[in-house]
């Protein structure tokens, strides 16, 4: 069995391989036909194992691999041959297996695992990587990691909600994949890797396929990908604009098309670190990212899954440039949830954090629509929403902003407070409402009295208009009931005119 496994390795070929990293990498799948379920094998269109003759020139530079026994330990070869042995061992790891059946190819899987561990130890050393070694390493990672995930039926049923109680799905190949991910991290972060050479193989196509893996249902894999992408962003400065644009495109598709993606929280966590490194003053493209990407990310139903990371990204922008506070508040008001109380609580929490950092000029730009919305929250029948909105008056910074602009804010908020004081069902909300009224009275009792008188006058006017409206409808009904029915004339149907026979 082991001999059969080794016979599938690349052999010497007369033709040299192209230095380009072919994305449709040919691979050898040992054991059986690849299954549609996720594994660390690369599913091929034909569904049949690749013939050994076709792998030599299509996967590795054959002249480098030729004549090197891959199972030899690194300590048994001279330093001049270690890089050749490294490429040979990497080629051995290009053979993939089906991990959905734990009883298949046990010996071969163990040989590959031990080889990967040897490579992991070797990469941690101080040997400088040659270009063929970089090429071979990138191809091995592509063969083992890059794969298409099956449709996520569970997410389709649950609509990606944050209240989904299902346990996360774990990839059966993870013990194997983890070593490959650790190897890739060590390889990218190695001081012996020349970024100028490596960028030819860790290119835009490689990065895009790496980003596709963030949709994995296995949280352990997404965590490893987060580390790798962060290291790639740090090491390859030439790829930074492309990485930002590619992640933005994932966010766009998530918000405006599918609303289902497993890796939004991890991608936002990466972006949080990226934003913290932005130079001042902020570029226009970064401000556009805030308005077109981060603000609309408050819209999906699954906000709770990634809200913490999203809130951190927004706070980083505000910390960099406080003038953006009013922009963010306008965005929150634009996407404010009307029927989702849990999202409303999240919005109110984020809003309080922003108001703690806002200056007076920016606050005055948005205070009218802002406190109109807070007034609606105060009147919410969901007691947690009303309570959370009233808690704003426990924040000294917010109370200070309100006190300086009380002549504008009190006329907006007082009607909501009075309605709560008259008929809100929850005693805790009722007590908080009375406390807020007392605070306004202590701020400016004359203003409070004048606003209260104005509120009573407006309430009386509304009551009079309501009575007039009812009287007008009664007159219309009477007039319609006296008019004879002829032709296609519309008929007013009243309960008295149309008794229902049971």
Residue 26's pLDDT is what? 42
pLDDT value of position 384:
95
Q: Which of 109-123, 326-340, 348-362, 473-487 is the least confident region?
A: 473-487
The residue to which tokens 């042995």 are assigned = 85
pLDDT digits (tens, 9 = 90+) for 134-152: 999 999 999 999 988 877 6
Q: What is the dihedral of CA 163, 169, 174, 175, to 10 degrees?
A: 90
Pairing between β-strand 95-96 and β-strand 28-29 as defined by DSSP bridges: parallel
Rounded mean pLDDT of 96-101?
A: 82
263 belongs to a structural domain: no
Whether residue 192 lies inside any domain: the answer is: no
| Predicted local confidence at residue 128, as pLDDT | 87
Token pair in block for residue 299: 């819209």
Please, which pLDDT band fits residue 291 given cuts at 50, 70 and 90? very high
Q: Inform me whether the pLDDT recorded for 41 exceeds 50.
A: no
Question: Sorting pLDDT into bands at 50, 70 and 90, what band is 486?
Answer: low
Average pLDDT, the chain: 82
Q: For the residues 395-420, what does the mean pLDDT come to?
A: 94
Is 30 inside a domain boundary? no
Report angle CA 276, 278, 282 to the nearest 5 degrees.
125
Length of the chain: 502
What are the pLDDT digits (tens) for 362-378? 999 999 999 999 999 99
Least confident stretch, 355-359, 391-395, 486-490: 486-490
Count Cβ atoms below 10 Å from residue 424 Cβ, excluding itself: 19
> How high is the pLDDT of residue 242?
96
- DSSP, res 391: G
Q: Please report which confidence band the pLDDT of residue 487 belongs to, taking 50, 70 and 90 as the band edges.
A: low
Task: Average the pLDDT over 106-115 and give the result.
Answer: 87
Which range (14-28, 267-281, 299-313) has the least confidence?
Answer: 14-28
Helix (H, G, I), strand (E, B) or coil at 269: helix
The predicted pLDDT at position 175 comes to 86
State the Cα–Cα distance between residues 262 and 306, nearest whole angstrom: 10
Per-residue pLDDT for 15 more than 50?
no
Q: How many other CB atoms are found less than 10 A from the CB of residue 246?
A: 18
Residues facing 29 on adjacent strands = 96
Let me know if residue 368 belongs to a domain: yes
User: What pLDDT, on the 0 to 100 scale, is given for residue 492?
Assistant: 60
Query: Is 346 inside a domain boundary?
Result: yes
Q: What is the pLDDT of residues 416-429, one digit of tens each?
A: 999 999 888 999 99
- Given a cut of 50, whether residue 38 has pLDDT beyond it is no
Termini Cα distance of the chain: 84
Q: For residue 378, what is the domain's CATH number?
A: 1.25.10.10
| 436 within a domain of the structure (yes/no) | yes
- How far are the Cα atoms of 203, 272, 288, 314 from residue 238, in angstroms, in the given order? 10, 20, 21, 26
DSSP state of 256: I
- Please choose, from the candidates 142, 111, 125, the residue with its C-alpha nearest in 3D space to the C-alpha of residue 42: 142
- Rounded mean pLDDT of 304-326? 94
Q: For residue 502, is pLDDT > 50? A: no
What percent of the chain is modeled with pLDDT above 90?
57
Q: What's the pLDDT at 7?
A: 52
DSSP secondary structure string for all residues of 132-162: HHHHHHHHHHHHHH--PPPP-HHHHHHTT-T
52 part of a folded domain:
no
DSSP state of 29: E
User: What is the predicted pLDDT for the residue at 68?
Assistant: 57
Query: Tens digits of per-residue pLDDT, 317-359?
Result: 999 999 999 999 999 999 999 999 999 999 999 999 999 999 9
- Residue 453 lies in domain: 322-477
Greater pLDDT, 13 or 500:
500
Token digits of residue 23: 């994305």
Is 25 part of any domain?
A: no
Question: What gap in Å lies between CA 99 and CA 304, rounded to an integer?
Answer: 33
Task: Indicate if the pLDDT at residue 92 is higher than 80.
Answer: yes
Burial of 20 (0-12, 13-18, 19+ CB in 10 A): exposed
C-alpha span between 89 and 49 (Å, rounded): 20
Confidence band for 47, pLDDT divided at 50, 70 and 90: very low
Residue 459 and residue 454: Cα distance in Å, rounded? 8
Cis omega (within 30 of 0) on the bond before 381?
Answer: no
Q: What average pLDDT does range 66-95 have in this prediction?
A: 80
Q: How many domains does the structure of the chain reveal?
A: 1
Per the model's pLDDT, the better-predicted residue between 166 and 213 turns out to be 213
Q: Which of 157, 262, 152 is nearest to 213 (CA)?
A: 262
């Amino acid at each position: 069995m082991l001999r059969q496994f080794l016979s599938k390795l690349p052999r010497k070929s007369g033709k040299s391989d192209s230095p380009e990293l072919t994305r449709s990498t040919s691979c050898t799948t040992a054991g059986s036909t690849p299954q549609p379920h996720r594994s660390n094998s690369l599913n091929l269109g034909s569904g049949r194992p690749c013939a050994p003759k076709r792998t030599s020139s299509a996967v590795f530079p054959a002249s480098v691999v030729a004549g090197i026994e891959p199972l030899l330990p690194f300590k048994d070869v001279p330093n001049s041959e270690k890089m050749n042995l490294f490429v040979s061992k990497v080629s051995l790891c290009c053979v993939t297996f089906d991990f959905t059946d734990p009883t298949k190819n046990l010996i071969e899987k163990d040989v590959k695992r031990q080889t990967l561990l040897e490579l992991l130890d070797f990469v941690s050393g101080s040997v400088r990587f040659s270009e063929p070694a970089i090429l071979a390493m990138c191809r091995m990672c592509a063969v083992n990691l890059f794969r298409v995930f099956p449709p996520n039926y569970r997410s389709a049923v649950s609509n990606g909600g944050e209240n989904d109680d299902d346990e996360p799905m774990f990839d059966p190949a993870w013990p194997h994949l983890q070593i490959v991910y650790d190897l890739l991290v060590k390889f990218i972060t190695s001081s012996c890797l020349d970024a100028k050479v490596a960028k030819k193989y860790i290119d835009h196509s490689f990065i895009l396929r790496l980003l596709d893996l963030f949709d994995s249902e296995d949280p352990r894999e997404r965590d490893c990908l987060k580390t790798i992408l962060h290291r790639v962003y740090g090491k390859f400065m030439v790829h930074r604009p492309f990485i930002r644009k590619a992640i933005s495109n994932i966010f766009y598709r998530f918000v405006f098309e599918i609303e289902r993606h497993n890796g939004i929280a991890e991608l936002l966590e990466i972006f949080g670190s990226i934003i913290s490194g932005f130079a001042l003053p902020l570029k226009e493209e970064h401000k556009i990212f805030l308005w077109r990407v981060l603000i609309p990310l408050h819209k999906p139903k699954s906000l709770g899954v990634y809200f913490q990371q999203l809130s951190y990204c927004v706070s980083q922008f505000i910390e960099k440039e406080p003038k953006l506070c009013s922009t963010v508040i306008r965005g929150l008001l634009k996407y404010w949830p009307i029927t989702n109380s849990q999202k409303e609580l999240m919005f109110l929490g984020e809003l309080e954090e922003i108001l703690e950092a806002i200056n007076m000029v920016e606050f005055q730009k948005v205070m009218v629509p802002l406190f109109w919305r807070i007034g609606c929250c105060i009147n919410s029948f969901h007691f947690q929403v009303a309570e959370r909105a009233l808690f704003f008056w426990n924040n000294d910074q917010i109370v200070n902003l309100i006190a300086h602009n009380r002549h504008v804010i009190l006329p907006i908020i007082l009607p909501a407070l009075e309605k709560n004081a008259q008929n809100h069902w929850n005693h805790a909300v009722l007590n908080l409402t009375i406390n807020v009224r007392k605070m306004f009275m202590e701020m400016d009792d004359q203003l409070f009295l004048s606003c209260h008188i104005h509120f009573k006058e407006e309430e009386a006017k509304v009551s009079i208009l309501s009575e007039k409206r009812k009287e007008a409808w009664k007159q219309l009904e009477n007039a319609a009931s006296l008019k004879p029915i002829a032709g296609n004339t519309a008929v007013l149907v009243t309960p008295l005119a149309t008794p229902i026979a049971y």
